[in-house]
Structure 1
Amino acid sequence: MMTLLGHIGFIALYCVLCLVMPTLLRGEFTLAYVREHSLFICVCTQDLVACSVINSSECDCVDHPLSTPQQAHGPSTVQYKRLTVWYTSPLNVARLLNNSDVRHLVLVKCDPTEDKLPPLDHFVVRRLERLSVSYPFWRPGQIHDVVLGRDMGAQYHEEARIAVIHTTVLVGKAGLKAYTVKTEVDSKGTMSFPNVFMSPEGLPEMASMFVTFVY
């Protein structure tokens, strides 16, 4: 009897795993599509061709209202391990990502127009480890890939790090440059860069941190 129950239990477990495993193994691709008057956040079953049509059978998208510019010291609600951003509005991208928390950020400019520099000088991304930027309508096939902190030997597990990204990166550049410094931080999260504002909320207590400037 016990053997029969054990056999039935094994079959039941096998059936559950058959149903669940495809979901567990399926990689999720998180996409933010930022335009002048709209913002869509999509979770897709696989990577998409840059700036292609978003198919509802592959992606689950939610339309988010575009909010007012975030406060300089306020935390962002954007928190992802990996986030791809397609955009036609550099200003709204800077607003969306300022004080965000993203480990791997992919920026793709999805229109061939030459944009003016946004009124924001820079935006800050916390914990950023890798930045990929491309302009497929201007330079097809060219991708700028920056591993932040490599020049200082910063490790990926280093939590106390931020990236200060100049908004010229969003309007189109032939090349990207980055340099990293290690700076002291006081108990309020204030650094030695008076024009750089960062929300310390959610970051561990720290005496110093890596700051990478991308331009």
Structure 2
Amino acid sequence: MAWAGRVQTAALLGCVLWLAAPVLLRSDFRLAYVTEHSLYTCKCVQGMAPCGVINSSQCECKDHPFSVLRRPDGSGILWAATEQLTVWYTSPLNVALLLNNSEVRHLSLVKCNSVAGKAASYDYFTVQRLERLTVSYPSWRPGQSHDITLGRDDGPAYQEKEARMAIIATAVLTGKSSLKAYTVQTKVDGKGMFPFPYLSASKVTLPEASSMYVTFLY
């Protein structure tokens, strides 16, 4: 009888785990929504149509104060070591402030209005460990999108390196008919300075490496 009870318990536990498996294995869709006056970060159970309605039954969102966009240490507020992030935005300036010095591997930028927006007060922002960038402007230029895999021009050696950084021109956020990229291997000194004029990064977030791959997107 005890043996039969254990069998029944094991079978019941297996059934519960089987039913729960789709929930446990389900990956989150991570979304940031950035406007001129608001900033939300969300975790959703599935992807959504670009610039659509954020369903509260499928997404858990946080409303952030705007003060987080100007952090004294220059570090990102997004999830640490984020694998994939989608950003819907109407303010290119605030997106650049939000993403600067963040760490995202696959980044999708979606412009949700049909105006160019304010030009940023600086020419570029940096994203660490970026491997793929997708940019689209569905409300402005329907059907036009850019999809770039970083480091493809540098061969297999790039994929083996953990230290990498993307330098993204802010003009990409306001709308471009074409998107170009090139990758170089370089060194960064202890102050976060690159061997390029007027180019630097926050030393707080830089990886400890004698050299790193830098990809320029413009």
Structure-1-length-normalised TM-score: 0.91
Change (3 A) 1:193 1:2: farther
Q: Is the 8 A contact 1:32 1:41 kept in 2?
A: yes
Q: Determine the structure 2 residue equivalent to 1:131.
A: 133
| Aligned equivalents of 1:179, 1:128: Cα separation in 2 | 13
Q: Which runs of 4+ in 1 moved over 6 A?
A: none
Q: Determine the structure 2 residue equivalent to 1:82.
A: 84
Unaligned runs of 5+ in 2: none
| Aligned equivalents of 1:4, 1:187: Cα separation in 2 | 67
Q: Is the 8 A contact 2:182 2:217 kept in 1?
A: yes
Q: Determine the structure 2 residue equivalent to 1:21.
A: 21
AA matched with 1:176: L
Q: Is the 8 A contact 1:81 1:102 kept in 2?
A: yes
Aligned-partner SS, 1:102: strand
| Aligned equivalents of 1:51, 1:148: Cα separation in 2 | 25
Q: Determine the structure 2 residue equivalent to 1:172.
A: 175
Q: Determine the structure 2 residue equivalent to 1:70.
A: 70
Q: Determine the structure 1 residue equivalent to 2:146.
A: 144
| Aligned equivalents of 2:161, 2:48: Cα separation in 1 | 30
Q: Determine the structure 1 residue equivalent to 2:6.
A: 6
| Aligned equivalents of 1:16, 1:185: Cα separation in 2 | 52
Q: Determine the structure 1 residue equivalent to 2:215.
A: 212
Q: Is the 8 A contact 1:88 1:110 kept in 2?
A: yes
Coordinate RMSD, CA, aligned? 2.0
AA matched with 1:90: P
Q: Determine the structure 2 residue equivalent to 1:199.
A: 202
AA matched with 2:48: L
Change (3 A) 1:158 1:11: same
Structure-2-length-normalised TM-score: 0.89
Q: Is the 8 A contact 1:70 1:98 kept in 2?
A: no
Aligned-partner SS, 1:13: helix
What per-residue deviation string (whole Å, max 9, x for no partner) do you get for residues 143-198 of structure 1? 20011111112544521000000000000000001111110233554421342222
Equivalent in 117, 120, 123 of residue 119 of structure 2: 117
| Aligned equivalents of 1:82, 1:144: Cα separation in 2 | 16
AA matched with 2:58: E
Unaligned runs of 5+ in 1: none
Q: Is the 8 A contact 2:35 2:89 kept in 1?
A: yes
Q: Determine the structure 2 residue equivalent to 1:44.
A: 44
Identity across aligned pairs (percent)?
Answer: 55
